[in-house]
Amino acid sequence: MEIKTVKGFKDILGLDALLFNEIQRVGYDIANSFGYKLIVLPTVEYAELFDRSVGNTTDIVEKEMFTFEDKGGRTLSLRPEMTASVARSFIEHHMETNPLPLKFFYFGQCFRYENPQKGRYREFYQLGVEVLGDISPLLDIEVIQIALKIIEQFNIKNLKVKINSIGCRVCRPKYKEALTEALKPHYDELCPDCKRRLYTNPLRVLDCKKEEDSLKEILPRITNYLCDECRKHFEEVQRLLTELKIPFEVDNTLVRGLDYYTKTVFEVISEDLGAQNALLGGGRYDYLVEDLGGRKTPGVGFAMGVERFIEILKGNKFKTPEKKKLYITYDKKFGSNAFEIRNSLIPDFVVEIDPKGDSLKKQIERASKRGSDFILIMGENEVLENSISIKDLKSGNQIKIKIDELKESLKELLKDA
């Protein structure tokens, strides 16, 4: 029987794979330019890490974790997200002894046992940044700027930041209480999930898509309940966004599906993208490290869903920058010369060598089937004259040049091709 991919898992092929690579490359390049260092983390962690960080009443932990017991009886999970792992690593390696804040960039797969549909998989990739060790609102702005800069590199315009503050352990309990009280008379209008959330995680009712907007409008607003510290922080974030002319909108229904968030939460949307317009989400998590047993260390970051971004880029017909493709054809006697020529042209060009070295006609046919731009011909005459012919497959034009001029001539020739 044919073996296929597992439900919710996928191969990333063709254009998707090219875009995947480009997103990773650009993401790292931009984050690194802001002073962020790459961190590579394991896909498997103790299940407890996510219970104690993402939260055991969240959908992610309650319903969507791939949790299993290994042969040594340990209860392990495939990571559903990466912020908790960054915090775990920070504590485990005593990174608090470094000059803070520490700034990280990551790219890797996450796993959630969700019902697969377009843009929703059981294995998916996230790209993100995290800053640990400083409470300043300037860092909230910095991570937002990185997010915008990455997206802008892909020609996506009309970006806007949706932002909210969800308070801290001082002010959020009072808001939760007020929210629960306000929701109780509307219990019958709530969806089955929200009926449960009312007592476990009432903030999630605010971003449940099943609830009517008219109900959300009459609910108390978190910004009226913020303590002095959270209010000042939120005001400062908004002041900086305004001064930097970053378009933003305060959305009091914006809460995120992970318990560790405090103060600022945000999403970046593009108004050009219609309903599924959220490109990424993030926020501040000032208790995460201490909740996991570390020293009090505030943090802020964002995560972008790579598959969703790939879909958006395909919709926008984004083209990845590609090198020109060359194909070396040769007389069988000169196979090793072909390898030498290729070595001299890599990595400026993509260079393939014909696998057979049979008749020139057959080699050219194979070259054009593989979408090559130019063919390099090493026939008997060329080799004797220490030269090589270059054939433009589109125009059919052919020129012969000296081998030591090959690289420069190709660059010149391909400048406007």
Query: Would you tell me which residues interact with ligand AMP (CB under 6 A)?
Result: 81, 112, 114, 119-121, 124, 126, 256-257, 278, 280-281, 303, 305, 307-308
Burial 53-73 (b: 16+ CB within 10 A, else e): bbbeebbbbeebbbbeeeeee
- Kindly state the smallest distance separating residue 223's Cβ from ligand AMP, in Å: 21
> Does residue 12 sit in helix, strand or coil?
coil
Q: Is the Cβ of residue 55 or residue 305 nearer to ligand AMP in the bound state?
A: 305
- Residue 238 DSSP one-character state: H
Q: Is the Cβ of residue 205 or residue 328 nearer to ligand AMP in the bound state?
A: 205
Q: Residue 209: which of 196, 222, 190, 223 has the closest Cα? A: 190
Sign of CA dihedral 106, 111, 115, 118: positive
Q: Give me the phi and psi of 43, to 5 degrees please.
A: -80, -20
Contact 296, 279 (CB under 8 A): no
Q: Is the Cβ of residue 286 or residue 373 nearer to ligand AMP in the bound state?
A: 286
**Encoded tokens for 107:** 């790219």
- Kindly state the smallest distance separating residue 292's Cβ from ligand AMP, in Å: 17
Contact 330, 357 (CB under 8 A): yes
User: 281: which strand partners?
Assistant: 267, 303
- Kindly state the smallest distance separating residue 131's Cβ from ligand AMP, in Å: 17
Q: How far is CA 28 from CA 107, 127, 130, 197, 412, in A?
A: 8, 9, 13, 37, 31
Burial 260-288 (b: 16+ CB within 10 A, else e): bbbbbbbbbbbeebeeebbbbbbbbbbbb
- Kindly state the smallest distance separating residue 155's Cβ from ligand AMP, in Å: 19
Q: Residue 160: which of 266, 274, 268 has the closest Cα? A: 268
Q: How far apart are alpha carbons 186 and 26 in whole angstroms?
A: 47
Residue 173: how many other CB atoms lie within 10 Å: 12
> Does residue 135 sit in helix, strand or coil?
coil
Q: Give me the phi and psi of 308, to 5 degrees please.
A: -65, -40
224 Cβ partners below 8 Å, 6+ apart?
Answer: none
Q: Is the Cβ of residue 133 or residue 281 nearer to ligand AMP in the bound state?
A: 281
Q: Is the Cβ of residue 281 or residue 357 nearer to ligand AMP in the bound state?
A: 281
Q: Is the Cβ of residue 318 or residue 350 nearer to ligand AMP in the bound state?
A: 318
